[in-house]
Amino acid sequence: MLLADLVAASRDVAATRSRKEKTRLLAGALLAADADERPLVAHYLAGRLRQRRTGVGWRGLRDLPDPAPAPSLTVAEVDAAFEALSRLAGTGSAAARAAAASELFGRADAAEQAWLLAVAVGEVRQGASDALVTEALALAAEVPLAEVRRAAMLAGGATYVVAPAFSGGVAALREVGLTVGRPVLPMLASSAPDLPAALGGFGDREIAVDAKLDGIRVQVHRDGDDVLVVTRSLDDITDRLPEVVHVVRELPADRLILDGEALALDEDGRPRPFQETAARTATSGPHQATVTPYFFDVLHLDGRDLHEQPARERWAALEALVPEPHRVPRWRGTSAASDEAHAFTDRVLADGHEGVVVKDAAAPYAAGRRGAAWVKVKPVHTLDLVVLAVEWGSGRRKGWLSNIHLGARDPGSPTGFTMLGKTFKGMTDAMLAWQTERFRELATGPTDGWVVEVRPEQVVEVAFDGLQRSSRYPGGLALRFARVVRYRDDKTADEADTLETVRALAARD
């Protein structure tokens, strides 16, 4: 398949706001590709490269060669070029990478260059999420959407089940199951404003209340001595968390898949600031902060898949496998026992953790889904928003990029985001130094003015006291007393909270 044809399809998808039409266009592009190219085309239609890291960023692509007069690149050639870039390392790799990138972009025409630049830095804005690609795959392969969704969740995304969907249909998709060593999409929690609201959704059923640790979500696979540790977004961080690898190798099992958190603790066993934990996933090598893993679920154990079993069975298997010091603190009972649940929650908060998650004891592990079986509760309102711009500080903060502009995802906005306010509160000196460097990298224009516009990539978790109506911002709402909790390097901008979520919070308040 020519890259030009894929770029044209991406352009057409971006030009329509109709979900049905987007799905039709994506399905058409999948059908137009050769069978062996379809998995790769699906990655590109979802707006991302097959390689998770290429070493190519915005800074290295600012000076592009002149575009080619006519398109000639194929998607296979593009993938091969990025694969070669991802393997460059060591002395001289920077120069080799620059030369290889220049060669690739020099073979692309103007439209292809723009798309390649966008996909290389994670900036393809076409409104085609993984969910839409899943729907398009079902349409193109003529298989039920429910079957594609199930297989995609267990395989780590829709792009990984393109081949079986086309080659074997429903039968092949049903053969897709848990595989030790292949990450699956994590189960996610919905939110409740407080514990009574969360408990009220479970009637009088058996539940667990788990401590919500302020760490890095980790999924760990073990096959003999081989251990794989991945993040919430399924990035491989095994070499960055040797403490987790050591703990898992000590467990009395040969093959397993565990879900949990890793976080840094101080000498008293209280959680360190999230940024210290996050730093461990950014680079390998020596660090001051050590991390401790805590597990709350087991999906596979020595040949037995557990993800479709009731949670109570998975919890029993977890308790028999993982010693208590490496299990997430948990209270079990019924939702009617609210006094005990409240007492447990108070202890969790007193220990310095950020909240609790209420879980249905009868629920299976719904990979990749956010439903009513898990409900998280935090003591304050928080949102994961995207930084749209940042202002230079004054006074003590002179020389640092300080006041950040906060936006929620909004598919109805031309930019894809709607601004909700600004804040400079909650920032330590270390955070100011970090964000000054980070936002200079993301700057889309001059950085010598007062306001620096940035690419909408960095997710930040903010706490706030409420929402108020505002004519100043296009969404009609503004955050009250917003302050930074932490930067979320484990989330992409596509996973930030939406304007719809913010409006729902405002209606509830």
- Give the number of other CB atoms < 10 A from CB of residue 324: 7
Question: Strand, helix or coil at 172?
Answer: helix
- Give the number of other CB atoms < 10 A from CB of residue 46: 24
Measured distance CA(125)–CA(108) in Å, rounded = 19
Measured distance CA(333)–CA(340) in Å, rounded = 9
Burial class (CB in 10 A: 0-12, 13-18, 19+), 230: buried
Residues 112/97, Cβ–Cβ less than 8 Å: no
| Beta-carbon-side half-sphere exposure of residue 221 (alpha carbons within 13 Å) | 18
Count the helix, strand and coil residues of the chain and give each as a percent rounded to the nearest 5: 40, 25, 35
The one-letter amino acid code at 63 reads D
Measured distance CA(477)–CA(458) in Å, rounded = 21
Q: Contacts for 138-141 with beta carbons within 8 Å, 24 or more apart?
A: 138/165, 139/23, 139/24, 139/27, 140/26, 140/27, 140/28, 140/30, 140/31, 140/166, 141/165, 141/166, 141/169
Residues 22/16, Cβ–Cβ less than 8 Å: yes
Question: Which position among 20, 22, 212, 359 bears the catalytic label?
Answer: 212
- DSSP state letters, 463-497: EESEEEE-SSSTTSEEEES-EEEEE-TTS-GGGSP
Q: Is 376 a catalytic residue?
A: no
Instruction: Kindly state the tokens that stand for 311.
Output: 């949670």
Q: Which residues are catalytic?
A: 212
